[in-house]
Structures are given as C-alpha cells and as structure tokens.
Copies of this chain bind each other. A is one copy, B any other.
Amino acid sequence: MDKFDSNIPIYLQIIDIFKANILNGEYQPGSKIPSVRELGVKFGVNPNTVQRALVELERSKLLRTENRTAGRYISDDQDLIASLKKNEVKSKVKHLLKELKDAGFKDNEILELMKDEMKSS
C-alpha cells in the first residue's frame, strides 16, 4: 500500500479510500471486505486505526457488520449508495455556492467561472 500523508490522520485517509471506491463502484456492493487485522497489515497500520475508520463508515451505512465475528460487508443497498453520493455532492455544491455568493458573485458569473474551469482542464 502507498504511504499516507502524515499531515492528515491516517484513519481519515482510510475513510476516504473506502468512500471513494464504494461510491464510484470499484468496491462491489455486498462484497466482504478483509478483517481489520488484514487491512492493518495491508495499510501498515494498527488494526485499531482501521477500526476507527470502518466504524465511521458504518455510521454512514456504507458498511455493515453482520455479527461479531462474521466480518464486514459493503452495503447492499444501491439506492442508499446512490443517495449518499447525491447528498454528498449536493452539499458540496451548496457550500461552494454560498461562499461565492457571500463573496459577491452572481449566479451567472458563477456559471461562467465553472465553464471556464471546465475548459482549462
């Protein structure tokens, strides 16, 4: 596994890895993920650090634990995944919009900015 950015808590970076891969479909819904110990080895990190990340992901329902020893699974609920993805996106868009409006930009100016950036990438 690649190295982590030491300025950001490892557990947050693990969360991001899982989130991205689940939301973009790389990790298949319903599939089992490795144990905290295996992941700990893979990431070169203590199992509890993995645990901390996975618990957060359970709170947002992206993962579930069947029972105490059956391991963890990626959520099966594709609607949920889609909806989480949409919500995440919406809140980010909303946040940016608020910032730009507070800075004095008008709707059409904002759209122009977006289009400009799209061109240059």
Interface residues of A (CB under 8 A from B): 20, 23-24, 85, 88-90, 92-94, 96-97, 99-100, 102-105, 107, 110-111, 113-115, 117-118, 121
Given contacts A24-B102, A114-B114, 16 further A-B contacts (CB under 8 A): A20-B103, A24-B103, A85-B103, A89-B100, A89-B105, A89-B113, A92-B99, A92-B100, A93-B113, A93-B117, A97-B114, A97-B118, A110-B114, A111-B111, A111-B114, A111-B115
| Contact B110–A24 (Cβ < 8 Å) | no
Partner of A90, one of B24, B92, B113, B118: B113
Chain B residue nearest to A95 (CB atoms) is B96
